[in-house]
Structure 1
């Protein structure tokens, strides 16, 4: 039945890039210290997590997001926390992590603190899958407490030797053993690199070694150095991003993925959407770049002049997790590119369903970019929902928040709390490659529904 659905044209739409230069790629949480890992064709992005009410650093766990197109990011939930290390201080200090894979195992390195010491240690936890669960295998620090022992970064060289670097304001390294949970030889302090502050990111590309880092505080940009050997000496090459007064901190992560090179870092735009006062509430961002012919990295200047385009379309005919998001209504951006904070979509966890979308108030929405409906397109939409309020619905629009309506899924009451149900509705006009807006409709102050996953059918 097509009641209320007008015939809609199917204009030719090119695959969209991110809607605005430099938006944060996660809007449902404050995230920082990006640590991307490419594994089996997927970018896994590990981050630290600033609590919503943080003023200074208030960090208790580590989060994971994944993407195959660099624009739509799926929330994979909390992969580790201070509880992973029961011997650590449990109230704060879950700082910058990195995860690497070796021999089918995944190793998470993170700086934490221990009771009775003002100094940091570096811990390691191990998992069988990128999404964890990560388990503390040592029951003690990998690197003992010392001032400035934060921000670990790891690279496994072609000969199998792994190196662990870390440090603020000095840079240190050690050679890890093959088990990745112990080391051999001394801890070595590196000769000072110009403009180095913290947040090192160590990697190798085309037989050149790179050390990217947060440049001297404050404000912090992103700089880098290069070497012919994994242990230096390191030659400073300049900024990747300039020092910028809008960011008192930074932390790079650099990868190659599907033929492109990407820089991750963070800024404070979502914090300043809430208040003009600086708090440690950060937001991860990503930019695509190309290396120069000599292997050097160009100056990308700042997030407001660079971005990462969508590199492949999303298939709507297979299961798509509801927490796969290019943009949400938690943040609304108006024409002058300022932010307005609005309560809206966020994510939560369920032991049986994993991560799902919640806090879906009236007119809040999820944008999914570059959805390839093809031709003749889709004729039906399915969603798995729970905790539906009377009169709740999900409106499906294309291209814009006020774009053409292709269908409306009536949800209403869904029965017992936590009882997930699949609901369906006919759609019309879902043709070509379009941005999809899932807009929640209803009344009252309570969340309208919880939302686990969706798909279209032809």
Structure 2
């Protein structure tokens, strides 16, 4: 940590989220303790895709944002202005670090040729001995683009300066919607892109709008001709994964009101097909995840990704639980995760029970390392902000995402392992945005025992970062950690938390 850090010249603060609660009375909403779902309550995130790298899962999501009318009243999501991808990551599936947004499309984005960025997919490859990451995205339903980066969080560039898949790509001429990519890098390093959707007139039972094609060795080109995946009642949302030599193509079924046979997928459910080869032939197997309305009382579309972490298999999907809890109009989606299981003898996927409880924490949280201030298990009245240089339009690794706490708001970190001896000290990098305040470190509850406290004086220098420390007593063992901001007089205090770390007893 650095003392008295001042942002670079030309740097600006960019708010990536809207407050989900009035500042006067911060309140837990959406993700309620001890539930794991939705993954976060301080912002939305739809169409999840999972990339596992170095025992950490990165979730890439369509950046749903509240839309307002001329009177400032929230309106239904039109999806028409989404040009960014949100990224969060976790090692334990309960505590998530917000990495901010990738500026993908539009004049300030990496892909200036694109107008929108929906439904991302991510992949990792080693090329020439270097780790390379690729992000595939839909430019509405008219084509698929690709970005590349040296890390899972950027900096991202457009390596080809145009769409990767267009109407001119061989084999996609009849695809209604060129969107919703998924990517598989096989054991032989050959990569495949899956995409498509939509229902041509009169073809609800066999739309034949799903496609798969090979990616080039560079991961930023396609080779050969796209091949049809004959997915029954296909609508959108391609997914792909491999388990014990079986390839699983997963997708969302359409909502068309037609007579469905008992063997057909019901409307708006995640269905799947299997194959011994990445490009087919495919065998339809059934559905695994009912529409979100079945579990949460609010429907909408269904979108998912299946991934493996620490020898367990999971499904990420979205549902409109946060916007429902906020009592705002529909259309704003939030990502959830539940376990997925296979039948041992057949390899068939078992039906998934979506719920608020979600998954268990994989392991305890290590507080003795530099932790991003935007790492959140649960929260009340907290936003995140992305600090970004104004002299470039791309998300870079130098961007910093911070949490913004107001008087009475708090961040909770689940199952923190302080060890037998406990911690001796705590250091944080803070910027005060208002009146004097106090940062309290409490155990197990927002009003639990205080183990440390930092007095934060008022300052007129809003862009100044200060390293502030306190001694810690009484933190032995495992506890939920609460970082609570207490205002000195009223609720006008606002503090940005960039980074924090506990010190071990020596």
So what's the TM-score if we normalise by structure 1? 0.86
Q: Which consecutive residues of structure 1, in runs of 5 or more, have no partner in the other structure?
A: 1-16, 114-118, 331-343
Verify the 8 A CA contact 1:223 1:240 in the aligned structure 2: yes
Distance change (3 Å), C-alpha of 1:155 and 1:387: same
Distance change (3 Å), C-alpha of 1:22 and 1:66: closer
Distance change (3 Å), C-alpha of 1:18 and 1:70: farther
Q: Which residue of 1 aligns with 2:349?
A: 297
Q: Which residue of 1 aligns with 2:232?
A: 194
1:172 aligns with 2:211: yes
Q: Which residue of 1 aligns with 2:184?
A: 155
Q: Which residue of 1 aligns with 2:137?
A: 110
Q: State the distance in 1 between where 2:232 and 2:398 align.
A: 48
- The number of residue pairs the alignment matches comes to 418
Larger displacement relative to structure 2 (149-158 or 383-392):
383-392
Shift of 1:21: 4.2
RMSD between superposed Cα atoms in Å = 2.2
1:67 aligns with 2:90: yes
Q: Which residue of 1 aligns with 2:70?
A: none
Shift of 1:276: 5.4
Q: State the distance in 2 between where 1:129 and 1:159 align.
A: 22
Shift of 1:143: 0.8
1:223 aligns with 2:271: yes
2:303 to 220, 245, 251: 251
**Superposition map of 1:77-116 within 5 A:** 77-82=100-105, 83-89=109-115, 93-103=116-126, 104-113=131-140
Q: Which residue of 2 aligns with 1:413?
A: 458
Q: State the distance in 2 between where 1:205 and 1:80 align.
A: 33
Q: Which residue of 2 aligns with 1:397?
A: 442
**Superposition map of 1:379-458 within 5 A:** 379-414=424-459, 416-442=461-487, 443-457=489-503, 458=505
Q: Which residue of 2 aligns with 1:138?
A: 160
Higher relative contact order at CA 8 Å, sep ≥6: structure 1 or structure 2? 2
Deviations 1:22-42 (A, max 9, x none): 521122221011111111222
Shift of 1:421: 0.8
Verify the 8 A CA contact 2:384 2:404 in the aligned structure 1: yes
Q: State the distance in 2 between where 1:303 and 1:375 align.
A: 35
So what's the TM-score if we normalise by structure 2? 0.78
Verify the 8 A CA contact 2:100 2:401 in the aligned structure 1: no
Q: Which residue of 1 aligns with 2:18?
A: none
Q: State the distance in 1 between where 2:437 and 2:35 align.
A: 34
Q: State the distance in 1 between where 2:355 and 2:196 align.
A: 25
1:24 to 22, 27, 38: 38
Shift of 1:152: 0.7
Q: State the distance in 1 between where 2:478 and 2:319 align.
A: 31
Deviations 1:249-273 (A, max 9, x none): 1211111111211110111011112
Q: Which residue of 2 aligns with 1:338?
A: none
Deviations 1:290-342 (A, max 9, x none): 322132221113224x5111111111121111111111114xxxxxxxxxxxx
Q: State the distance in 2 between where 1:108 and 1:447 align.
A: 38
Q: State the distance in 1 between where 2:343 and 2:223 align.
A: 36
Verify the 8 A CA contact 1:37 1:100 in the aligned structure 2: yes
Distance change (3 Å), C-alpha of 1:212 and 1:447: farther
Shift of 1:127: 1.2
